Structure 1
Amino acid sequence: MSTSPNQLETQLKELQQQALDLIGALTNLEELEQLRVKYLGKKGDLSQILRGMGKLSPEERPIVGTLANEVKEKIQNQLDSRRQTLQQAEIEAQLQAETLDVTMPGVSRPLGHIHPLNGMVDRILDVFVGLGYTVASGPHIETDYYNFEALNTPADHPARDMQDTFYLPGGHLLRTHTSSVQIRHMENREPPIRIVAPGRCYRRDTVDATHSATFHQIEILAVDKGLQFTDLKGTIKEFLRRIFGDDITVQFRASYFPFTEPSAEVDVQWKGKWLEVMGCGMVDPNVLKAVGYDPEIYTGFAAGLGVERFAMVLHQIDDIRRLYASDLRFLQQF
């Protein structure tokens, strides 16, 4: 490489012109970075030219060095300006590509349907929450104590035969009702209590048009000072009125449940027929004692219903198995 000052100056000016022309013609940022390295990098063209300054005289070096700095500054300024222009162009192109044309028709996606059981649960909970009840839940796998013993149903009680269930190792079982939720709730809280407990239950029933080994139940519980059977009747009638309509006729028939006394079955007159829809009763004093409540101070009432039965009555479904078959032809009706 020539060490003549004039030749170095000429090379620097040619380098500058060549770099500015190329930079102005670039169309993307990647090429711009490659050009920067080519001209201004440690091993770039400018560095190659400046290596010849070592053989210049002390008087010549400042002149060539000043020109080299001017060339480097002009190239760097051109690089920065072009980079800004290209970046702005990329942003505008991206905005243009991502612009939503609101005049175009949207893509239609069919909405799903609420399952009739879930819809029935929501409807029932809305009624009781509106009456001041709080939704409570509990485990599906229970101990014998919570499922039977604390509910006044000892091991030798004949009522257990009506709720034969699936037993698990270690003395556990799949709950046969959501009444166990009531015990768990009461033993950790002091009255007054008003809860509604929805959930899945399990019994070793033979599957047919009206029975299933897995079903859904909703129970209510109210405990306070001075609660009477009239409070229970008023609550049940108001609930059934909101579900079946204002002109519904309700009757209470004496019945038996181990955890309530007195107990009753509730019937409604629906489309000219009497239908049994739920059971209820005043909480047995032994249940109150099991959770540490004084039955001389507190009384309570409870009621329970099967969600499937309500869904089948209101939607006129002829077979409970239709609710579990996942047949879209059936489910899309709701």
Structure 2
Amino acid sequence: MTTAVNDLDTQLAALQQEATDAIANSQTLEELEQLRVNYLGKKGQLSLVLRGMGKLDAENRPRVGALANEVKEALQNNLDSKRQHFQAAQIQAKLAAETLDVSMPGVYRPQGKLHPINSTIDRVLDIFVGLGYTVATGPEMETDYYNFEALNTPPDHPARDMQDTFYLPDGNLLRTHTSSVQIRYMEDNEPPIRIIAPGRVYRRDTVDATHAAVFHQIEILAVDEGITFTDLKGILKVFFQEMFGEEVPVRLRASYFPFTEPSAEIDVQWKGKWLEMGGCGMVDPNVLKAVGYDPEVYTGFAAGFGAERFAMVFHQIDDIRRLYNSDLRFLRQF
């Protein structure tokens, strides 16, 4: 038994020396972890040596076991010490790489600003949301039904020529107004409703200083019991007063839209000139019937404005095309 004891003592001493040297020479945390598994793991070299304890008599096992625990503890301490060294080195390397020189000038990044069209739309929405209106949106690619037929404009109606648009191969089209949003909203909601629908619209207009094939429209709709044309004019006066920052004269000129009756063009007197700002009218009974509303019970009004028109008036822009050219020399003014 003495020989077996001496052999285990020798193996443990040799194992400790070998592991200590390997730990000292390790270069990375990954390599250190592999050494821990190799020497102290369940199938590691220390476990293999201790399997020989079964050959010892009872009186020698405690001494060899105590020696094995000392070896294990010594190796674990070496591993922990080396691991802390690696971790401290990683932290120092990261600090060195991420050192901030507060004396260096910052990197200049110009502050972005809203495009005049976006800022104009936001301004209109803020006013109507403050008046209790809900913002509603819908798809730009529409069906003929929602863009025309539900708005009292059947296929053979001459008013379609006023809003000729871009037709797609599948029979759909690009919407000519955000009135289609009103139809979709009314189909899903019961009166009373008050909504404002902003968005991009498309028409086959000849592009010039005041027209574009793609532009932005903002429409309002209110439906309830007892709504009259007087209510429409009242909300318009309040809106333009907030929009222009002062009380401005508003006049309504008789006009025609297939989805409103009576209909009117909206003019505002500003800086001594009358400016046409949009169209409006009482919702045609046929439109109410199309969405399942009883026109004998409910009435409503609608109005629509061009966002580009407002932007051109407020910023005194002479050509609508300037809003789409992405010319920074022009846009930086705003």
Contact 2:117 2:323 in 1 (8 A): yes
Deviations 1:155-194 (A, max 9, x none): 2222111111112234322111111111111122211110
Out of 176-185 and 62-71, give the one that drifted further. Answer: 62-71
The residue number in structure 2 matching 1:73 is: 72
The residue number in structure 1 matching 2:200 is: 200
Contact 1:166 1:203 in 2 (8 A): yes
The residue number in structure 2 matching 1:237 is: 237
2:301 partner SS: strand
- Structure 2-normalised TM-score? 0.83
User: Displacement of 1:259 after TM fit?
Assistant: 1.3
The one-letter code sitting in structure 2 at the alignment partner of 1:78 is N
- Cα distance in 2 for partners of 1:7, 1:285 equals 107
Runs (5+) with no aligned partner, structure 1: none
The residue number in structure 2 matching 1:129 is: 129
**Pair 1:60–1:211, CA change in 2 (3 A):** same
**Pair 1:276–1:13, CA change in 2 (3 A):** same
- Structure 1-normalised TM-score? 0.83
Out of 34-43 and 313-322, give the one that drifted further. Answer: 34-43
**Pair 1:292–1:39, CA change in 2 (3 A):** closer
The residue number in structure 2 matching 1:212 is: 212
- Cα distance in 1 for partners of 2:144, 2:51 equals 93
Contact 2:40 2:47 in 1 (8 A): yes
The one-letter code sitting in structure 1 at the alignment partner of 2:168 is L
> Aligned residues, how many?
330
Contact 2:36 2:79 in 1 (8 A): no
The one-letter code sitting in structure 1 at the alignment partner of 2:323 is L
Deviations 1:47-96 (A, max 9, x none): 89889999x99699758844751552243332344155336525753774
Deviations 1:234-256 (A, max 9, x none): 11111111111214222221111
The residue number in structure 1 matching 2:308 is: 308
Contact 1:36 1:79 in 2 (8 A): no
Deviations 1:259-288 (A, max 9, x none): 111111111122222110111111112212
Out of 287-296 and 116-125, give the one that drifted further. Answer: 287-296
The residue number in structure 2 matching 1:324 is: 324
1:187 partner SS: helix
The one-letter code sitting in structure 1 at the alignment partner of 2:282 is M
- Cα distance in 2 for partners of 1:187, 1:301 equals 17
The one-letter code sitting in structure 2 at the alignment partner of 1:265 is E
**Pair 1:83–1:57, CA change in 2 (3 A):** closer
- Cα distance in 1 for partners of 2:50, 2:197 equals 86
**Pair 1:76–1:251, CA change in 2 (3 A):** same
1:207 partner SS: coil
Contact 1:136 1:198 in 2 (8 A): yes
- Cα distance in 2 for partners of 1:57, 1:262 equals 111
**RMSD over equivalenced CA pairs, Å:** 3.4
- Cα distance in 2 for partners of 1:189, 1:9 equals 89
Contact 2:205 2:212 in 1 (8 A): yes
Contact 2:178 2:217 in 1 (8 A): yes
User: Displacement of 1:148 after TM fit?
Assistant: 1.6
Out of 75-84 and 273-282, give the one that drifted further. Answer: 75-84
2:286 partner SS: helix
Out of 206-215 and 90-99, give the one that drifted further. Answer: 90-99
Contact 2:285 2:295 in 1 (8 A): yes
**Pair 1:102–1:245, CA change in 2 (3 A):** farther
In the TM superposition, what are the counterparts of 1:177-192 in structure 2 within 5 Å?
Answer: 177-192=177-192
Deviations 1:170-227 (A, max 9, x none): 4322111111111111122211110101111111111111111111111100011111
The one-letter code sitting in structure 1 at the alignment partner of 2:85 is L
- Cα distance in 1 for partners of 2:75, 2:312 equals 80
The residue number in structure 2 matching 1:172 is: 172
Contact 1:8 1:64 in 2 (8 A): no
The residue number in structure 2 matching 1:115 is: 115
The one-letter code sitting in structure 1 at the alignment partner of 2:74 is I
- Cα distance in 1 for partners of 2:284, 2:150 equals 11
Deviations 1:22-62 (A, max 9, x none): 75687753454465467657675x689889999x9969975
Contact 2:9 2:64 in 1 (8 A): no
Runs (5+) with no aligned partner, structure 2: none
Instruction: State, as a whole percentage, how many aligned pairs show the same letter.
Output: 66
- Cα distance in 1 for partners of 2:186, 2:161 equals 26
- Cα distance in 2 for partners of 1:99, 1:194 equals 55
The one-letter code sitting in structure 2 at the alignment partner of 1:311 is A
The one-letter code sitting in structure 1 at the alignment partner of 2:75 is Q
User: Displacement of 1:118 after TM fit?
Assistant: 1.1
2:92 partner SS: helix
User: Displacement of 1:6 after TM fit?
Assistant: 5.9
User: Displacement of 1:111 after TM fit?
Assistant: 2.1
**Pair 1:138–1:81, CA change in 2 (3 A):** closer
**Pair 1:78–1:116, CA change in 2 (3 A):** same
In the TM superposition, what are the counterparts of 1:86-97 in structure 2 within 5 Å?
Answer: 86=85, 89-90=88-89, 92-93=91-92, 96-97=95-96
